[in-house]
């Protein structure tokens, strides 16, 4: 029996290289060794974007199209949409009943989300009951498939701690059933944004999987380099290069990295030329992914079918788990 993996992403728009390198690439590798369930967390998107839902549906499609482009394979993994598995909402009710209020109030990731929200204007700045339930709903996602492992970025670990607490409490109250899911972090280097800060859509410093080659090349030209270097034949300091050399270290081969470092240090490579080459390098690595993305974009009915089939499969397992939960809780059936 293979171990079960669950992971999801909030559907807040097209994905960028931070998602790809930090999470999806890892998922692609895990597909062969585990029973994988990957879902688009559209309810979780609603916890903060409830005031503007015009793009909610398209965002779900975009996220799943990005996954398919990156190599998440519907033949190997179950790909589904959270809101198409209503069993998750039902499990969320049972878990909510046994989760002390202070467990969710303590969640540091949630506190950060609330803080960001409060800086917004108007209605959308409110922290609602649904947002407070974020870690409980996330626990329902994970426990719905009785998962063993949850491959996520380190920012999600605090939430998963709560999932483990809720799991233990459920098992204590109603009988041992749920596995205690463990976060699975990957070793990959975190990619910073073009300005050197954390890559994020809201910071406008990201490179999207779906960007064209021209857009990518243009964005790379804005990447911060060695701020002390004014003329192209000044000697460079790769270690102080804030973005471009870091990208080389992620995308380049060992020989390329060594060559870039040497030429920079000897003043043989200007920053503009360096970034032109870097843009071409990144584009060549992304080429097969973008080609697959275009294929799915041009065949939207295929994506739709993958979503429907995957969600049916997810409901199958969810139904079995929920049935067991109802027995354990001794609710009317
Ligand atoms: N909170 C995750 C994020 O922001 C998305 C998510 C929702 C998730 N439910 C999950 C991740 C369950 C892993 C498991 O990206």
**Percent of the chain residues past pLDDT 90, beyond the cut:** 88
Kindly state whether residues 258 and 317 are assigned to the same domain. Answer: no
201, pLDDT greater than 90: no
* pLDDT at position 186: 79
187, pLDDT greater than 90: no
Kindly state whether residues 80 and 130 are assigned to the same domain. Answer: yes
CATH of the domain at 169: 3.40.50.620
58, pLDDT greater than 90: yes
Helices first, then strands: H and E counts in the chain: 15, 5
Spacing, Cα 205 to ligand 1 middle (Å): 23
In a domain, 316, yes or no: yes
Spacing, Cα 8 to ligand 1 middle (Å): 5
- What's the CA dihedral at 288, 293, 299, 305 to 10 degrees? 110
Kindly state whether residues 66 and 138 are assigned to the same domain. Answer: yes
In a domain, 163, yes or no: yes
Number of domains, the chain: 2
Kindly state whether residues 287 and 310 are assigned to the same domain. Answer: no
Top-confidence residue, 307 or 51? 307
User: In this predicted model, what pLDDT tens digit does every residue of 245-298 receive, in sequence order?
Assistant: 999 999 999 999 999 999 999 999 999 999 999 999 999 999 999 999 999 999
Phi, psi (deg, nearest 5) at residue 161: -60, -45
Spacing, Cα 128 to ligand 1 middle (Å): 18
Structural domain including 40 reads 4-191+300-329
CATH of the domain at 281: 1.10.240.10
125, pLDDT greater than 90: no
Q: Measure the CA–CA gap between 86 and 84, rounded to whole angstroms.
A: 6
Give me the chain's average pLDDT, please: 95
Kindly state whether residues 160 and 66 are assigned to the same domain. Answer: yes
Q: Measure the CA–CA gap between 263 and 184, rounded to whole angstroms.
A: 39
Pocket of ligand 1 (CB under 6 A): 6-10, 41, 44, 138, 141-142, 150, 152, 156
Give the DSSP per-residue string, 11-47.
Answer: -SS--BHHHIIIIIHHHHHHTTTSEEEEEEEHHHHHH
* pLDDT at position 122: 77
Q: Give the residue whose CA is nearest to atom 3 of ligand 1.
A: 9
User: In this predicted model, what pLDDT tens digit does every residue of 28-43 receive, in sequence order?
Assistant: 999 999 999 999 999 9
- For the beta sheet containing 182-184, the strands, ordered from the edge strand earlier in sequence to the opposite edge, are 78-81, 35-41, 4-10, 149-151, 182-184
Q: Enter the DSSP assignment of 236.
A: P
Kindly state whether residues 139 and 268 are assigned to the same domain. Answer: no
In a domain, 202, yes or no: no
Spacing, Cα 19 to ligand 1 middle (Å): 12
Kindly state whether residues 21 and 115 are assigned to the same domain. Answer: yes
In a domain, 36, yes or no: yes
124, pLDDT greater than 80: no
Kindly state whether residues 146 and 219 are assigned to the same domain. Answer: no
Kindly state whether residues 39 and 88 are assigned to the same domain. Answer: yes
26, pLDDT greater than 90: yes
User: In this predicted model, what pLDDT tens digit does every residue of 72-120 receive, in sequence order?
Assistant: 999 999 999 999 999 999 999 999 999 999 999 999 989 998 898 888 8
What ligand 1 atom has the least distance to the C-alpha of 141?
12
Kindly state whether residues 74 and 174 are assigned to the same domain. Answer: yes
What ligand 1 atom has the least distance to the C-alpha of 137?
9
Q: Is the pTM of this model over 0.85?
A: yes
């Amino acid at each position: 029996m293979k171990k079960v993996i669950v992971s999801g992403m909030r559907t807040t728009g097209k994905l960028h290289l931070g998602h790809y390198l930090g999470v999806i690439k890892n998922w692609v590798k895990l597909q062969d060794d585990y029973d994988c369930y990957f879902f688009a967390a559209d309810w979780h998107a609603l916890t903060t974007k409830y005031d503007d839902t015009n793009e909610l549906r398209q965002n779900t499609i975009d996220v799943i199209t990005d996954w398919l482009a990156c190599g998440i394979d519907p033949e190997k993994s179950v790909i589904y949409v959270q809101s198409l598995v209503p069993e998750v909402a039902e499990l969320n009710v049972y878990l909510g009943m046994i989760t002390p209020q202070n467990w969710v109030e303590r969640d540091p990731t949630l506190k950060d989300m609330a803080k960001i929200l409060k800086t917004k204007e108007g209605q959308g700045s409110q922290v609602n009951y649904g947002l407070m339930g974020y870690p409980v709903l996330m626990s329902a996602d994970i426990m719905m498939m009785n998962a063993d492992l949850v491959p996520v970025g380190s920012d999600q670990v605090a939430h998963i701690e709560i999932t483990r607490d809720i799991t233990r409490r459920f098992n204590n109250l109603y009988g041992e059933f749920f596995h205690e899911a463990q976060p699975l972090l990957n070793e990959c280097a975190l990619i910073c944004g073009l300005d050197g800060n954390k890559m994020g859509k809201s910071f406008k410093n990201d490179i999207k999987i779906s960007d064209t080659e021209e857009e990518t090349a243009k964005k790379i030209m804005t990447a911060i380099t060695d701020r002390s270097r004014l003329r192209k034949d000044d000697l460079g300091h790769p270690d102080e290069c804030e973005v471009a050399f870091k990208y080389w270290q992620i995308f380049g081969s060992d020989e390329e990295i060594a060559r870039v470092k040497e030429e920079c240090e000897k003043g043989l490579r200007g920053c503009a030329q360096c970034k032109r080459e870097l843009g071409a390098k990144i584009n060549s690595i992304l080429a097969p992914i973008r080609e697959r993305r275009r294929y799915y974009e041009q065949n939207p009915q295929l994506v739709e079918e993958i979503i429907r089939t995957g969600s049916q499969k997810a409901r199958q397992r969810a139904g079995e788990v929920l049935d067991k939960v109802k027995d354990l809780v001794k609710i009317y059936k």
